[in-house]
Amino acid sequence: MLLIGLCCYFYQTENNFWLGIFSGLLILTRVESIFLIVAFLIGYFIKYRTFPAYRNFIVPLILIATNLIFNKLYYGSYLPATGNAKIWQGRSGLWGDGWVFLNAGYLLAWAFGSNRFYFLTVFGFSVIGFLKTITTFEHREIHWIILFFLFGYSLFFIFLNIPNYHWYYAPYFIFTLLYCTKGLFFIPELFEGLVKSDLKWAAFLPSLLVMTALIYWAGGLSSLPRGPLKAYRDIGVWLNQNTASGDQIAVVEIGTIGWYSKRPIIDILGLVNPLNARFLGERKFEEWLNHYSPDFILIHDPPWPHELGAVNALAAGRFGVDPRFRFQNYRLLRKLPQPEQKS
C-alpha cells in the first residue's frame, strides 16, 4: 500500500525518475500491480502523446532483472511459486465454484464488525468523494488511473478464480478510506453557503459528527484482541515439544504452526511446495504424498476437502491417529511403518 501511494504521488508530481524506481519495486512486491503501471503509461500517453523518456526505465529494469537472476540462482526459478500456486488453487474448485473473489461478504464481519450502518456510511461517503474528485478538473487524472487499476486488478482475481483471501482486498480498503475522507470534506461545501459568514465553522459540524461516529465504531474494532489463532499457536507449541527436531509436518495452513513448531513444514496447498499446488489444481489430492514423505499430517476434524489425500492415506493404513494429540476439532496423523519397513 505504501508503494502504491508513493507511485501515485510521484505520478501526480510528474517525477518520472522516482516513479520508475518505485514502480519497479511495486512489481517485485506484487506482480498484479502491473495494472497500475499500465494505467500510468496510458495516462501519460493520453496527456503527452508519447511515453516517458527511456532513461526512466533503466533503473526499474535493473531492479527487476537483478531480482529475477537472484531467484534463478538461489531458488532455481525466475518467478516465485506463490503466483502459480494461487491459480492452481483456484482451478481446484475447493474454494468455491464461479467467481470466488466476489464472495467477500465475510469482510463485513472482519472489517466492520457486522455493523451494516458503519459499512454503508463509509461506502456512501467514499462514493460521494470519488464522484467529487472526478468532476473536479484539478488532479482528476490520477483518480481515473486509480479506477482503471482497481478494475484491472479485480478482473485478474475474478477470472483466474483466485481464492478470496482477505489481504487481496487491501487496495479497495485504502482507496475507500481515501475517498470517504474526500466525501466528508464535501459536506462543509454544501452547507457553507447556507450559514452566515460569522458561523462558517458550523458548516463543519455534520462532518465532525460523522467522523466521531466512524472513529467510535473503528475504535471498538481496534480494541478487540488480535494475534495468531490460539489453536494453531498451541498446536505449534505441542508439536515442538512432542516431535523430533527433524520430523516433517504436513498441514494446510502453515504460518502459525510452522512458526511455533520450529519443524520442517510441508504445505499441502502448495504455496511453498509448488508441486502440491499443481496436484491440487488437477484434483489429484493424494499425489503429493508420492513426492513428499511427512512424518505427521495435521488435519481438521471433520476434515477439510483440501485434506482428502491425508484422509485416504489414513484409510489405507499409511498413517494412524496419534493418541497423544488431544486438540478439539483437529487430528494428528502419524506415519506408520509399512510391511517392507518392518524388521
Omega of the bond leading into 302 within 30 degrees of 0 (cis): yes
Average pLDDT over residues 9-31: 94
Instruction: Name 340's Cβ contacts closer than 8 Å, sequence gap at least 6.
Output: none
Chain-centroid distance of CA 297 in Å reads 26
What is the reported pLDDT for 286? 86
How does pLDDT run across 212-249, given as a tens digit for each residue?
A: 888 888 877 766 666 668 899 999 999 999 999 999 99
Of residues 85 and 5, the one with the higher pLDDT is 5
- What value does the mean pLDDT take over residues 45-64? 94
Cα dihedral 43→46→49→50 (10° resolution):
20
- Per-residue model confidence (pLDDT) at position 163: 86
Evaluate if residue 342 carries a pLDDT over 60: no
| Choice between 340 and 282, residue whose per-residue pLDDT is larger | 282
- pLDDT tens per residue, range 280-339: 888 888 889 989 999 999 999 999 988 999 999 999 999 999 999 999 999 999 999 877
Q: Give dist(CA 63, CA 22) in Å, integer.
A: 10
Report the share of the chain in percent with pLDDT over 70.
93
CA–CA gap between residue 262 and residue 54 (Å, rounded)? 48
pLDDT reported for residue 314: 94
In terms of C-beta distances under 8 Å and separation of at least 24 residues, what long-range contacts does 259-262 make, across chains too? 259/228, 260/228, 260/232, 260/233, 260/235, 260/236, 261/235, 261/236, 261/237
pLDDT at 43 over 90: yes
- Total H helices, total E strands in the chain: 14, 5
d(CA 132, CA 101): 28
Fill in the DSSP letter of residue 13: T
pLDDT at 223: 62
Task: Give the pLDDT mean for 48-67.
Answer: 94
Q: Which residues of 265-279 are buried (b: 16+ CB within 10 A; e: fewer)?
A: bbbbbbbbbbebbbb
Instruction: Check residue 193 and give its pLDDT.
Output: 63
pLDDT at 61: 95
**Structure confidence at residue 270 (pLDDT):** 86
Instruction: Write down the pLDDT at residue 277.
Output: 84
Q: What is the pLDDT of residues 93-152, one digit of tens each?
A: 788 777 889 988 889 888 888 889 999 999 999 999 999 898 887 778 999 999 999 999
